[in-house]
Structure 1
Amino acid sequence: MTIDTSWRNAIPILAGALLLAGCSEDRPTKADKVAAASVPGAPPQGAADEAAKNAAASNVSESDELVEFAYAYPVEAARIPELAKALDGDREAKREALIAAARRDKDAAEKDGYPYRKHSHRQRWQRVTSTPRFLSLSAEIETYSGGAHGMQTFDTLIWDRNRRKQMKPLDLFQSSAAFDAVVRDAFCAGIKRAKAAKGIEEAPDSVFAKCPPASAQTVWLGSSDGRYLDRLTVAIAPYEIGAYAEGSYKVNLPMTGALVKVVKDEFARDFLPIN
């Protein structure tokens, strides 16, 4: 078993996830276009500076005959002791769970006489944005547990510097129901456009025809100016709105005035609507 911990490897900037163009009868608004310019927090210029800021603070990898494991987070997170400790704990918990499941499956494979397939977990946290109050991180996770194919999932967190507390983006809103009520139309329209771009039109009786609540997916909050939260992306894992072969989706939504109105009073001053 080898463990490689590097403090100097660069983490690539979170790649831009454009809000895919829709059908002619469902044209994006001006706010949609602004929100779709990039993934929240990705700056329009200065990519080299951003890459330097995202130099890996923790990049742990491990590979042997049983498992392959990798977990990384950026230097901005490492600079916050409480957050770094939480991420280290999350890393160790996921590593232990991976090894335990792999050992069980390997023992079962040997007992029943079929080949064991190495399990894996690869997770990379990346900086979405950093404002005076918040550090917003996103994670893309790839796992494999011996089946027909691997799986991609997502994660999200917000660090509140004022409260010195780790939160989820939806914690900043009055409720998940209030959030869903405001973004539902734009979110469902965004899914429709994204599927149309892949040549997919769901039949009315399809199990995937119903638009799910945005709050049930992974929400990333970002900033265009490094001061206010004014960008929003919803990441959707495979099987949530389509077959595995469709892959994942990332739908950018406008930070409207209506959405800012359902932010909790404590955080309202940290949001900026895009009109």
Structure 2
Amino acid sequence: MTMRAMALWAMLALAACDGQKAKEASAGAETARPQTAPAADVVVPASDLLVKRDTAELDFLWRAPPELAEAPTLLATLRAQALESAKEMQAGALEDMKLRPADAPKLAHFFVQDWTVAADTDALLNIRADISMYTGGAHPNHGFAVKYWDKAERREISFGDLFTDWSAAETLLTPAYCSALDAERLSRRGEIQDGIFNDCPPLGDQPVALVSWPGQDISGFRVLLGPYVAGSYAEGDFEIDVPMTDALRALIKPQYLKAQ
């Protein structure tokens, strides 16, 4: 992977997860929420939910769900990032083609960022992105991102902002997450192995999506771990589910818990 591609990957992943690190979340009692009138229906053109570039050097696709019409500021930000990324990746792909030996295969680069709805409650929209990209290296790379949008306050929030006390929530979530991750690694590997991918990556550093079926309350949490985070590239991604408990439910701010 070229330095340009590495920088772009970092920019995309960090920008998409900006505000998600729970250690940056505010803690303490919930402050009074402003009384706002119900937002009018917002209609966005279908073209605003898609950025697609198909050239000889690059296949680029960014896609957003129509539910993001409820978060126009967030949609505009994510779309602007995608448009800029498409320009950067096209330039990087052209540079890579020029640097390759004449007899080397010139494989087109690609980038896919597909945003989907993880949870949609009366007060909260949670979306997650599955990201894949190839920039001329030995193999493609992939990862995840998450976003949380407070519908009443009309602003982006972090995962930790869902809780009245993030420190207490993290204390409950971490052992359950680490135990489930170890069980999944054992299932894939067949045995306990020594190596660099045996530790439990800190929860506060990972994108976490909510688990919720349409019309039902939030039922759990899904920790999203890309290659080289919890295992080797060959082991692929890890999506670790942590079920909701009464203790965790008591820590979630009530307005975020209830489904539509």
1:105 maps to amino acid = D
Residue from 86, 100, 122 that aligns with 2:91:
100
1:185 maps to amino acid = P
- Matching of residue 212 in structure 1 with residue 201 in structure 2: yes
The 2-side partners of 1:245 and 1:198 are apart by 11
Q: Note the C-alpha offset of 1:106.
A: 2.4
Residue from 215, 219, 232 that aligns with 1:230:
219
Larger % of helix: which?
Answer: 2
- Matching of residue 137 in structure 1 with residue 165 in structure 2: no
Structure 2 gap segments, 5+ residues each: 1-45
Q: Note the C-alpha offset of 1:221.
A: 1.4
| 2:114 match | 124
| 1:197 match | 187
Residue from 154, 171, 177 that aligns with 1:164:
154
Superposition TM-score, scaled by structure 2 size: 0.72
**Aligned CA distance change for structure 1 residues 113 and 167 (closer, same or farther; 3 Å):** farther
| 1:271 match | 257
The 1-side partners of 2:164 and 2:139 are apart by 38
2:121 maps to amino acid = T
2:98 maps to amino acid = D
| 1:259 match | 248
The 1-side partners of 2:224 and 2:201 are apart by 12
| 2:230 match | 241
- After superposition, the CA RMSD in angstroms is 2.6
Q: Note the C-alpha offset of 1:262.
A: 4.8
Q: Is the 8 A contact 2:210 2:218 kept in 1?
A: yes
Residue from 48, 54, 69 that aligns with 1:78:
69
Q: Note the C-alpha offset of 1:129.
A: 2.1
**Aligned CA distance change for structure 1 residues 108 and 173 (closer, same or farther; 3 Å):** farther
Q: Is the 8 A contact 2:115 2:128 kept in 1?
A: yes
Q: Note the C-alpha offset of 1:178.
A: 4.6
Q: Note the C-alpha offset of 1:121.
A: 0.7
Q: SS of 1:210's equivalent?
A: coil
Residues 75-100 of structure 1 show CA distances to partners (whole Å, capped at 9, x for unaligned) of 11134322321221121122122123
Q: Is the 8 A contact 1:156 1:168 kept in 2?
A: no
- Matching of residue 182 in structure 1 with residue 172 in structure 2: yes
**Number of corresponding residues:** 213
Q: Is the 8 A contact 2:162 2:256 kept in 1?
A: no
| 2:50 match | 59
Structure 1 gap segments, 5+ residues each: 1-54
The 2-side partners of 1:86 and 1:117 are apart by 30
Q: Is the 8 A contact 1:140 1:155 kept in 2?
A: yes
Q: SS of 1:250's equivalent?
A: strand
Which segments of structure 1 move beyond 6 Å, counting only runs of 4 or more? none
The 1-side partners of 2:56 and 2:92 are apart by 14
The 2-side partners of 1:144 and 1:196 are apart by 29
Residues 203-250 of structure 1 show CA distances to partners (whole Å, capped at 9, x for unaligned) of 2x4111111112222200133464643321111111111111111111
The 2-side partners of 1:135 and 1:181 are apart by 25
The 1-side partners of 2:163 and 2:84 are apart by 29
Residues 11-40 of structure 1 show CA distances to partners (whole Å, capped at 9, x for unaligned) of xxxxxxxxxxxxxxxxxxxxxxxxxxxxxx
1:219 maps to amino acid = V
**Aligned CA distance change for structure 1 residues 185 and 80 (closer, same or farther; 3 Å):** closer
Superposition TM-score, scaled by structure 1 size: 0.68
The 2-side partners of 1:83 and 1:255 are apart by 28
**Aligned CA distance change for structure 1 residues 57 and 200 (closer, same or farther; 3 Å):** farther
